[in-house]
Structure 1
């Protein structure tokens, strides 16, 4: 059995977000977006009320799929088809809650190995069907939906049965892992043998190795372990031309990198079945410390100095003043953060350190390794933090961060139920442009809030530091009807932020992929010549546009020849 998330929202049916034990949250939301979240939330729609079209699955294709994977692994039930129709973007959730299901897959297929994946792809291409690879379904960029109006059969190929760590080369510190392995499952298998991948994106609980590779994801500890592009050393991919297999060598000079072509390809080049990834021994010690900085500008300078120093933390994350206040507002009564603040920290910061409490910024910095290494790293980072007016507040906030780091998407679902649209956009830029990009994007968002007549909120944090720059991750929210019409307001805000990234020197996406949501800005990011290059690659491997058409670069689906 492959476990899936709610068809109408994020995560497990048994898990949801509640403000009941967070006394400061409801007043915070009322103040900043004018919404009363103490009301009972809107109920999820009843599945039985959905208008679900019958599948279009020719007998010959059904027979070929059954021969490939077995009848028990070919599903045309309505719930399976709806679960696999969308990812979990805000747009996806608004549409599915409104009964706008788009073009549902006609069948969901669960291959059990690479040979079965090959047989499924062969059957699909022979039948001129559309194939959309599916990992955990967490994508928020529109990478999983079929083109509306698609008249060919649509297959969702769920890799959930390919979930094993196959082999570990302990000398090379490389592991072969099947692409459908979920984050918790692959970490459990590695940890049992003393290893870790070290890749922990926000979607970790419900996303897969293949999905990470297909979207070029980043994890919370990327400062130490690298992004998935750094972690992935070789891939196996079933393509229309056969099985693409690269070698797990330290470096090579063999023309354009085929491995890199697969990274971020979103299923346009084939179905990833396996990857060889670098792994690390489970660290002897792991700790995350909390710090407060007096201002955002000082915090950014400290993060830059840490990145260019000899310090090597596993996590460098700092919230702007808005996100800091939001984080404090989401603290549970009696939690570590609440206790710290209530025991006089605010008074100390204001009176002794001369902080303006409305401008202070909360930071989390993580350290891993031997006890001696961690001690040395803490000293290096501590000295830098002090130079920029920062104050260490110990492990309490870090423990809270560890506990809450995978819960954020549940807050978005809660707000949808209360009548608010909340979403994220992230980018990366150089240290020299980071502050101006931040200021410009925030200003554009507020200008758009005014133009569409809403009381809106935008906040951000820095994460994923690099030698030359860092990622900025923005979150925005405003009260709005959770309807298809409400998405027009959402589009205005989202577009203003995305265009701000491009105009102010950032990339359109640091780790959320392109899909459909970000495709309008691709030529501005990689140049029109770059778009032509990528389009030629897609057309060359998939001339019939059978592989997840329309993602990254819009496809023109071949039609019948004119008479």
Structure 2
């Protein structure tokens, strides 16, 4: 098999890497209070692949031979492990179903094309033999965009683009890079970085997600305030479709009717297989600085972010956590060995703030990033510092921010840690105008807590503002609770529904950057209107009349 890196089938990340609480003295008490879990309890052990009872692949000898002809025998897999890795994404529902051996439909084969010609041959085979193709990037999706339909009777092939992982060309005059869609985030930045460039796109899933996956789900990254989300970064693309190849040229701007590039963004494989993307890239900045701040309240933090968004400063990161996420973050700090200047300063600062009348239970931690030349960074940092001060906040310096920068991709491992001990945790995010953010936030917190009370579980919900726009921002909610062990998916559905329905009721979107998939499709008409769904379905039906490309995602038809 090709040397394509995959996450472990039963959880996030790679084998041998996990979250550890032993060096975090505040974590056990926090988790006990927040979700009623004893972190010292022994973790559940995942089943072996053999125990899952993976159904045999449904592939005719003819199709097996034609798949081999298309990509070569070493690039086709039928073994249970490969097929399970490609069955689900990494949502809580996905992991609960995997751990319960709930496998109504598993891909029958996994193929690894090495070129656009290979992809074209596979799609032609799918059309001729009436197969289902599901494009697969890194497998990090949490919106239900990857699993086959449970009642699918046709042969299902997972099309893993992991071999297509190269930066093909770099136009330095235009700041455009032509890149194969199967490249993982770290490999993309490493190949660009060798030549002094960066794309600047860092979603939470960065380590285990691909460029094609980002485009297919309309991804945003931690630095989207400066670089834009993937919809802004992606300038051109090549998409293999039934009947031909869609070519979107990387032009600065056009007015040539409805935008085909926009149609592909967020299409989750339903409009074709993305093979290449031409992306906007930037010279690696001379300086990169992330600074931590502390606000006396969530309201103060939101107000500061709004003012920053319309100021002359243009930070790369604008993030502020509510008090509940701040408490969580503080609980994950490692134990200091001996005397620590940062710990001593931090403890002294908190005592000083208490004397000034701060309620530290309401304090909100913020991280703001700056990039550019030394003078530019100093200028923007001064503007932000004045705004923070005007809203009652204080600067904490680079120390906490450096720790955040180092650990920013590790949070999903905590979800697995809780899941191993009877906890259920996941995320939902939205975007809304500034005028709606606080009412939306308050309604979400109230409604989720009501669900916890109705279920009789100990639960926690927390939030951060992750990206700012001129007219509004993204609110990113994390929820966790101690499930009953009987039907955790039913309990999860109650919490998830409370979040998503409140987003819609309060004027937000069903998802800012996690796509639609099957998790969010029931709210699609509320988000884009019934006529909007008609238009989306019409495009899908026109491009893929035979429903060969990832059917059942975004819309159920």
Which residue of 2 is the match for residue 393 of structure 1? 396
Which residue of 2 is the match for residue 517 of structure 1? 519
Deviations 1:171-227 (A, max 9, x none): 100000000000000100000000000000000000000000000000000001000
Q: Secondary structure at 1:205's aligned position in 2?
A: helix
Aligned equivalents of 1:337, 1:259: Cα separation in 2: 52
Q: Secondary structure at 1:427's aligned position in 2?
A: strand
8 Å CA contact 1:61, 1:124 repeated in 2: no
Match among 409, 414, 418 for residue 417 of structure 2: 414
What pairs with 1:225-244 in structure 2 (closer than 5 Å)? 225-244=227-246
What displacement does 1:338 show?
Answer: 7.0
Aligned equivalents of 1:342, 1:533: Cα separation in 2: 55
Aligned equivalents of 1:149, 1:550: Cα separation in 2: 11
8 Å CA contact 2:431, 2:473 repeated in 1: yes
8 Å CA contact 2:342, 2:399 repeated in 1: no
- Give yes or no for the alignment of 1:459 onto 2:462: yes
Deviations 1:68-119 (A, max 9, x none): 1111101101100000000001000001011112311000000000000000
What displacement does 1:33 show?
Answer: 1.7
Which residue of 2 is the match for residue 346 of structure 1? 350
Q: TM-score, normalised by structure 2?
A: 0.98
What displacement does 1:147 show?
Answer: 0.3
Which residue of 1 is the match for residue 537 of structure 2? 535
What pairs with 1:129-148 in structure 2 (closer than 5 Å)? 129-148=131-150
Aligned equivalents of 1:384, 1:482: Cα separation in 2: 48
Match among 468, 481, 487 for residue 471 of structure 2: 468
8 Å CA contact 1:420, 1:482 repeated in 2: no
Match among 17, 20, 26 for residue 18 of structure 1: 20
What displacement does 1:64 show?
Answer: 1.6
Aligned equivalents of 2:547, 2:65: Cα separation in 1: 23
Deviations 1:213-242 (A, max 9, x none): 000000000001000000000110000021
What displacement does 1:11 show?
Answer: 0.3
Q: Secondary structure at 2:293's aligned position in 1?
A: strand
What displacement does 1:342 show?
Answer: 4.7
Which residue of 1 is the match for residue 30 of structure 2? 28
What displacement does 1:456 show?
Answer: 1.2
Aligned equivalents of 2:414, 2:523: Cα separation in 1: 28
Deviations 1:428-476 (A, max 9, x none): 0000100000001110001111111112110000011000000000011
Which residue of 1 is the match for residue 49 of structure 2? 47
Which residue of 2 is the match for residue 427 of structure 1? 430
Residues 227-236 or 53-62, more deviating? 53-62
What pairs with 1:76-475 in structure 2 (closer than 5 Å)? 76-334=78-336, 339=343, 342-352=346-356, 354-475=357-478
What displacement does 1:417 show?
Answer: 0.3
Q: TM-score, normalised by structure 1?
A: 0.97
8 Å CA contact 2:324, 2:462 repeated in 1: yes
What displacement does 1:258 show?
Answer: 0.1
Aligned equivalents of 1:525, 1:515: Cα separation in 2: 14
What displacement does 1:482 show?
Answer: 4.8
What displacement does 1:340 show?
Answer: 5.9
Aligned equivalents of 1:299, 1:338: Cα separation in 2: 23
Q: Secondary structure at 1:292's aligned position in 2?
A: strand
Provide runs of 4+ in structure 1 moved above 6 Å. Answer: 335-338
8 Å CA contact 2:71, 2:118 repeated in 1: yes
Q: Report the aligned-residue RMSD.
A: 1.2
Aligned equivalents of 1:268, 1:527: Cα separation in 2: 20
Q: Secondary structure at 2:208's aligned position in 1?
A: coil
8 Å CA contact 1:328, 1:338 repeated in 2: no
Number of residues paired by the alignment? 553
Q: Cα gap change, 1:133/1:290 in structure 2, threshold over 3 Å: closer, same or farther? A: same
What displacement does 1:412 show?
Answer: 0.3
Aligned equivalents of 1:9, 1:337: Cα separation in 2: 37
What displacement does 1:341 show?
Answer: 6.4
8 Å CA contact 2:240, 2:246 repeated in 1: yes
Deviations 1:135-194 (A, max 9, x none): 000000100000002110000000000000000000100000000000000100000000
8 Å CA contact 1:318, 1:362 repeated in 2: yes
8 Å CA contact 1:331, 1:338 repeated in 2: no
Deviations 1:458-500 (A, max 9, x none): 00000110000000000111101456x1110110011011000
Which residue of 2 is the match for residue 480 of structure 1? 483
